[in-house]
Amino acid sequence: MRILVLGHKGMLGSDIMARLADDHELIGKDREDFDISQAESCRSVMEEVDPEVVINCAAYTDVDGAEEHRDLCFAVNARGVENLCRSCEGRNVKIVHISTDYVFDGKKGALYTEDDVPHPLNIYGASKRAGEEILTRWSGAFLLIRTAWMYGKNGKNFVTTVLNKALNERYLRVVDDQLGSPTYTWDLAGAIKLLLEKGVEGVFHITNRGVCSWFDFARKILELARIDGVKIEPIKSSELDRKAIRPSFSGLSSQKFTQVTGKTLRFWQTALDDFLFHDLNLSR
Ligand SMILES: NC(=O)c1ccc[n+]([C@@H]2O[C@H](COP(=O)([O-])OP(=O)(O)OC[C@H]3O[C@@H](n4cnc5c(N)ncnc54)[C@H](OP(=O)(O)O)[C@@H]3O)[C@@H](O)[C@H]2O)c1
């Protein structure tokens, strides 16, 4: 397939480029090439590349920053999706769009399925939900993929932040009252590849298996990386002065993905181990 990856230099986009490159023709575009919030810019990229599939990883992803930059966040995450859909009209192209567990409010107390009703708590979640609504109204073929708590080789993420803080400050305070599913971008890229090759359409939740708190996640990072002598303290979200409210439980059920593909993603601990010792090259 001839695939256009928007936001190909970002954390997920770069792993999609790496993981799909052997079997497909990939063309990457990022912010220096176009601006998804500008209709004309989107249209000209689509005309230039003329892809069979466009995977949209371009997004405004600063969850706390969004509380202060609402207009920019909506311009990229909502109007950007509208521009993308419009630029695909009249073309035989499938849109793959990435969304988030933060479209949910966390009050369900169990894994969210694709049939659950979104109710975002913060501006970022609301902008991503607005993008989802635009995409699902679009008349063409699409895959809407919700994922969560991502980490990968090319991007600022929780795993590298914890490692840096542990090594430099030897002291961490991490919230233990938000639960979700850490997801390795390499695994997610593989799952997206599979859905594309199967020609599937619709909404899918995809994360690594299992649910934990940010505190559990941090402890596992230190344990696997064998970093001793670090004090790690569990705290409540209310003790952190963060601008955006986050859901307390945003685990996603990947059961539909498993039913359709016959595959299950690895447990988050196994994926994390792989990331630390392969992507980050830690030595055992
Ligand atoms: N990270 C997570 O934990 C997480 C969790 C769930 C869902 N998601 C979703 O997964 C997708 C990928 O996330 P990610 O963490 O890989 O994102 P990322 O690393 O922030 O990459 C996003 C890319 O989009 C580019 N971009 C931003 N604004 C743009 C614009 N106006 N026009 C064109 N390109 C633009 C960025 O360029 P600059 O770097 O120059 O800004 C960057 O290369 C997003 O849709 C995100 O909402 C992420």
What pLDDT digit, counting tens, does each position of 230-280 carry?
Answer: 999 999 999 998 999 999 999 999 999 999 999 999 999 999 999 999 999
11, 45, 61, 158, best to mutate for ligand 1 pocket (most atoms within 8 Å of CB) = 61
**Mean pLDDT, range 36-47, rounded to an integer:** 98
Q: Is the pTM of this model over 0.95?
A: yes
Taking residues 195-208, what's their average pLDDT? 98
Ligand 1 binding pocket includes 159 (Cβ within 6 Å): no
Q: Which of 4, 12, 204 to mutate to test the pocket of ligand 1 (most atoms within 8 A of CB)?
A: 12
188 in ligand 1 pocket by Cβ < 6 Å? no
In the prediction, which pLDDT does 274 show? 97
Amino acid 284: pLDDT: 83
Residue 33: the pLDDT is: 97
| Ligand 1 pocket, residue 148 CB under 6 Å | yes
Q: Show Cβ contacts of residue 103 under 8 Å, excluding neighbours closer than 6 positions.
A: 118, 119, 120, 125, 128, 129, 132, 146
Residue 140 — pLDDT band, cuts 50, 70, 90?
very high
Q: What is the spatial distance between Cα 257 and Cα 195, in angstroms, rounded to a whole number? A: 8
DSSP string, 191-203: HHHHHHHHT--EE
pLDDT attached to residue 206: 98
Whether pLDDT at 87 is above 90: yes
- The two counts, helices (H) then strands (E), for the chain are 11, 12
Average pLDDT over residues 177-192: 98
Extract the tokens encoding 54. 């466009």
Is 184 known to be catalytic?
no
147-180: pLDDT as tens digits: 999 999 999 999 999 999 999 999 999 999 999 9
Measure Cα distances from 151 to 26, 69, 154, 268 in Å. Answer: 22, 24, 8, 11
What homologous superfamily does CATH list for 2-157+181-210+249-266? NAD(P)-binding Rossmann-like Domain (3.40.50.720)
Statement: residue 21 has pLDDT above 90: yes
Predicted confidence at residue 148, as pLDDT, reads 98
Q: How far is the CA of 162 from the centre of ligand 1 (A)?
A: 21
Residue 257 CA to residue 202 CA, distance in Å, equals 11
**Is 12 a pocket residue for ligand 1 (Cβ < 6 Å)?**
yes
β-pair type (150-151, 183-184)? parallel
Tell me how far the alpha carbon of residue 110 lies from the centroid of ligand 1, in angstroms. 27
Q: CA angle, 102 as apex, 9 and 245 as ends, to 5°?
A: 110
Q: Find out whether the beta carbon of 61 lies less than 6 Å from any atom of ligand 1.
A: yes
Split at pLDDT 50, 70, 90, the class of 282 is very high
User: Domain locations in the chain?
Assistant: 2-157+181-210+249-266
Mean pLDDT (the chain, rounded): 97
